[in-house]
Amino acid sequence: MIGEKISETTGKTTGVRVLPATTHDHHHGARLEISMQQTGKILGVDVTDMGTYEACLQHGGFYDGHGQGVAITKDGEPITWKATGIGRPTGKGTAVNWRGSIHYTTTSQKLNKLNGTCYVFEYEVDENGVSAGRVFEWK
């Protein structure tokens, strides 16, 4: 069951690299390496979030993606994250809507609730690379 919203961020794509296809069966073409930076709140705490994910276009026209990143609180405390998801192109240029799971690790005492919990995310990227993300607890 989807629980409370624990994060909301906005930002933009800061870089894109096209990587060669691999010989793995699940990669059907070029891979995209996408870097992003966002600001917002996690559990009510202001953060700057930076991450990189790899998206592989699959047969059927969707992306299989995974990534990692780090969010830094306004007090300088780090939160690392790993995520995996599916991206569906919206039909507007390079715009993609992502849905998936994410988990966090932090040494911050006030954000300790993040550790050991699976969350789900909604993440939209428009044709100009502007992004908005929301993360919800998965109970």
pLDDT digits (tens, 9 = 90+) for 107-121: 999 999 999 999 999
Over residues 71-98, mean pLDDT: 97
* The pLDDT of residue 1: 85
| Average pLDDT over all residues of the chain | 94
Over residues 34-63, mean pLDDT: 96
Q: Tell me the torsion sign for CA atoms 100, 106, 110, 114.
A: positive
* The pLDDT of residue 30: 73
CA–CA dist 93, 125 (Å, integer) = 11
Contact 117, 105 (CB under 8 A): no
Domain boundaries along the sequence of the chain: 2-138
* The pLDDT of residue 15: 97
Alpha carbon distances (Å) from 87 to 70, 72, 115: 21, 26, 25
CATH 3.40.50.720 fits 2-138, yes or no: no
* The pLDDT of residue 23: 65
Contact 7, 41 (CB under 8 A): yes
Over residues 40-58, mean pLDDT: 96
- 12-16, 35-39, 59-63, 132-136: least confidently modelled range: 59-63
Q: What is the CA radius of gyration of the chain?
A: 15
* The pLDDT of residue 17: 96
Residues of the chain above pLDDT 70, percent: 95
Tokens standing for residue 134: 């929301």
Higher pLDDT, 63 or 29: 63
CA–CA dist 74, 72 (Å, integer) = 7
Over residues 73-80, mean pLDDT: 97
